[in-house]
């Protein structure tokens, strides 16, 4: 049996209340007052599709080292730099593994899943698929209300799958419901009724029919139907056209998350696995974009026993309501604000040669461990920091990425530049004994104190905006309750 053998999710902590969006626009369109229900996940200024992908993948990497890493996104920060390679380095996976980026369509993740299953059937092992999107939308556009940011990872293999893939069906059609031209910041969308009646209602049922035929399953046997769409009742129209039972339609998480782009079919499917799917149930997962991809899966007994590193429900529960619409605009650079001279100083040119030489330290948070006395330190150095040892050239690589730590000292600085003042930084002590001066994230004034437990997260340390380069490093955030 080949299928999804594990998964983990990551959702940014901030949840922008849609009422804050609606309140900002009712002066222009009074009907917006009725659109302010629920919330959507938004990235902080130091998060993007890559940082979310790292966080979604790191739990599965701890369980097993993958042979192939696929990264699916339509909003990766680079047009010509492999994002899967960044994730691999951040998770200390560089070397003899294949890394691939899948993009240019909302069905990129589901297409990557089908490709991963085919590769396993041909002899490949342990494929890790990471799907992540952070889509920017114009103020007062439908996407501003409907979209959300998030990432999910799944491992694909043949050892005790949670969801066994039984069949798939494609319908590749160059149907333009929306597009984003190269060099443009925002999607251009067409009229919803046309997309619903000519796109969803005609293109998706054909892909579903092919997937069901490939698996030898009748439509009425499908217990759970996944189809992301921000268009009202699109899933119901497709279910009717494909002869699927209306009660099979799965919650699209619009009220608490928003649509997370390429990651959303997997978010919906895995949330259903946690909340409503029983062993033996058939799950039909579809993704619409430049046609449609449909995958038919069956839940196994292993799904009932599996505990993911971070479940979808846990990721949804770890949240902080945000009511400052202005902050959302600034974080996404939808509003140009004066950043002052200190902001200009933060845009210095990055040395690409130094970044490469120190990539394990910068991207992987790899320090050193003395092989003589066992002392760990960050960064690694030729001489051991233990005054009782001081051995030379005895360091071996030691990753602090998953080490718990506690705050030793901290400062909230309103003078140092940060897109989200004040700048929180200070010293942390790892449980292993290493120390690190670092930035803090995911907290407000008063949320931090000496002795507080923290954990490390992969984030953007600063941005070189003139050259379009995010400088990645690790920051300390309040530890999740275990």
* The CATH classification of domain 3-329, taken from the options 3.40.50.1220, 3.40.47.10, 3.40.1350.10, 3.90.1150.10: 3.40.47.10
Chain Cα centroid distance, residue 39 = 18
Structure confidence at residue 339 (pLDDT): 80
Structure confidence at residue 341 (pLDDT): 72
pLDDT tens-place string over residues 236-277: 999 999 999 999 999 999 999 999 999 999 999 999 999 999
Q: Are 399 and 379 in contact (CB under 8 A)?
A: no
Structure confidence at residue 337 (pLDDT): 85
The residues, ordered by sequence, that sit 6+ positions from 393 with a Cβ below 8 Å of its Cβ are 382
Q: Which residues of 108-125 are buried (b: 16+ CB within 10 A; e: fewer)?
A: bbbbbbbbbbebbeeebe
Match 């990753």 to its residue by tokens: 399
Q: Say how many residues make up the chain.
A: 482
pLDDT-derived band at 95, boundaries 50, 70, 90: confident
Q: Which residues of 158-178 are buried (b: 16+ CB within 10 A; e: fewer)?
A: beebbbbbbbbbbbeeebebe
Structure confidence at residue 355 (pLDDT): 93
Span 376-386, mean pLDDT? 96
pLDDT tens-place string over residues 297-334: 999 999 999 999 999 999 999 999 999 999 999 999 99
More confident residue, 343 or 147: 147
pLDDT tens-place string over residues 407-448: 999 999 999 889 999 999 999 999 999 999 999 999 999 999
pLDDT tens-place string over residues 202-225: 999 999 999 999 999 999 999 999
Spans of all domains in the chain: 3-329, 404-482
* DSSP letter (8 states) at residue 392: B
pLDDT-derived band at 481, boundaries 50, 70, 90: low
Asked whether residue 344 carries a pLDDT value surpassing 80, the answer given is no
Structure confidence at residue 345 (pLDDT): 66
Which pair of structure tokens corresponds to residue 227? 């189809």
Q: Cα separation of 192 and 298, whole Å?
A: 33
Phi then psi for residue 387, to 5 deg, are -65, -20
Name the CA dihedral angle for 414, 39, 48, 470, rounded to a multiple of 10 degrees.
Answer: -30
Across the beta sheet with 3-10, what order do the strands follow?
A: 98-102, 68-72, 127-133, 150-157, 3-10, 163-172, 291-299, 282-288, 222-226
More confident residue, 92 or 340: 92
Q: What percent of the chain has pLDDT over 90?
A: 91
Structure confidence at residue 220 (pLDDT): 97
Burial class (CB within 10 angstroms; exposed 0-12, middle 13-18, buried 19+) of 478: middle
Q: Are 390 and 384 in contact (CB under 8 A)?
A: yes
pLDDT tens-place string over residues 465-477: 889 999 999 999 9
Q: Which residues of 305-322 are buried (b: 16+ CB within 10 A; e: fewer)?
A: ebebbbbbebbbeebeeb
Structure confidence at residue 164 (pLDDT): 98
pLDDT tens-place string over residues 285-301: 999 999 999 999 999 99
What fold, for 404-482? OB fold (Dihydrolipoamide Acetyltransferase, E2P) (2.40.50)
Asked whether residue 482 carries a pLDDT value surpassing 60, the answer given is no
Q: What percent of the chain has pLDDT over 70?
A: 99
């Amino acid at each position: 049996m080949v299928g999804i053998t594990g998964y983990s999710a990551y959702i940014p902590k901030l949840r922008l209340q849609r009422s804050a969006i609606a309140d900002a626009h009712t002066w222009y369109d009074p009907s917006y007052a009725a659109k302010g229900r629920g919330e959507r996940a938004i990235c902080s200024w130091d998060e993007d599709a890559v940082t979310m992908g790292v966080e979604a993948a790191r739990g599965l990497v701890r369980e097993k080292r993958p042979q192939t890493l696929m990264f699916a996104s339509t909003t990766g920060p680079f047009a010509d730099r492999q994002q899967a390679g960044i994730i691999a380095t951040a998770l200390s996976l560089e070397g003899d593994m294949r890394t691939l980026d899948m993009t240019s369509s909302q069905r990129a993740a589901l297409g990557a899943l089908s490709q991963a299953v085919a590769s396993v059937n041909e002899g490949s092992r342990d494929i890790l698929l990471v799907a992540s999107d952070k889509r920017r939308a114009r103020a007062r556009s439908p996407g501003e209300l409907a979209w959300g940011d998030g990432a999910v990872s799944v491992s694909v293999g043949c050892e005790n799958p949670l969801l066994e893939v039984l069949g798939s069906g494609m319908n590749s059609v160059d149907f333009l419901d929306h597009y984003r031209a190269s060099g443009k910041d925002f999607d251009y969308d067409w009229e919803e009724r046309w997309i619903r009646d000519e796109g969803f209602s005609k293109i998706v049922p054909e892909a579903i029919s092919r997937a069901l035929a490939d698996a030898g399953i009748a439509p009425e046997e499908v217990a759970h139907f996944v189809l992301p769409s921000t268009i009202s009742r699109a899933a119901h129209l497709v279910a009717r056209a494909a002869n699927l039972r209306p009660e099979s339609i799965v919650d699209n998480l619009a009220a608490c998350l928003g649509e997370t782009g390429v990651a959303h079919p997997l978010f919906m499917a895995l949330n259903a696995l946690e909340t409503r799917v029983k062993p033996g149930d058939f799950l039909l997962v579809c993704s619409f974009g430049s046609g449609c991809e449909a995958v038919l899966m069956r839940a196994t007994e292993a799904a009932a026993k599996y505990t993911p590193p971070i479940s979808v429900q846990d990721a949804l529960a770890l949240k902080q309501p945000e009511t400052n619409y202005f902050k959302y605009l600034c974080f996404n650079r939808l509003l140009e604000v004066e950043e002052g001279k200190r902001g200009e100083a933060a845009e210095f040119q990055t040395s690409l040669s130094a970044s490469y030489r120190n990539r394990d330290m910068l991207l992987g948070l790899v320090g050193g461990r003395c092989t003589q006395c066992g002392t760990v330190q960050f960064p690694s150095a030729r001489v051991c920091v233990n005054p009782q040892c001081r051995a030379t050239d005895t360091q071996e690589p030691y990753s602090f990425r998953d080490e718990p730590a506690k705050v030793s000292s901290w400062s909230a600085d309103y003078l140092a530049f940060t897109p989200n003042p004040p700048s929180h930084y200070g010293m942390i002590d790892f449980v292993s004994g290493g120390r690190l001066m670092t930035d803090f994230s995911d907290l407000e004034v008063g949320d931090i104190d000496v002795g507080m437990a923290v954990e490390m997260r992969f984030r953007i340390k600063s941005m070189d905006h003139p050259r379009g380069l995010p400088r990645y490093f690790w920051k300390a955030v309040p530890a999740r309750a275990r």
